[in-house]
Amino acid sequence: MGERKVTVAAEVGLHARPAATFVKRAKEAPMDISVAKPHGAGPVNGKSILAIMALDVRQGETVVICAEGEGSDQVLDELAEIASTP
């Protein structure tokens, strides 16, 4: 299983527009995607905006994004970039 640890850079955290962009990309992927806080909540379904927003990820916090399957490295890289974009 592939994973990426990412520090969330957006001022609003992983909420609102960043969460919508993240979920939109995750839904395009054919594999399951999960998101968790390293020492807290999760994992939650990375394709559910409600689940992502319920994690209450704030600016500067780290999340772990996991996916498994063909093409998962590219998807994880893209999702990590979305989460780490200010």
Q: Which residues are catalytic?
A: 15
CA distance 79 to 29: 11
- Number of helical (H) and strand (E) elements in the chain, helices listed first: 3, 4
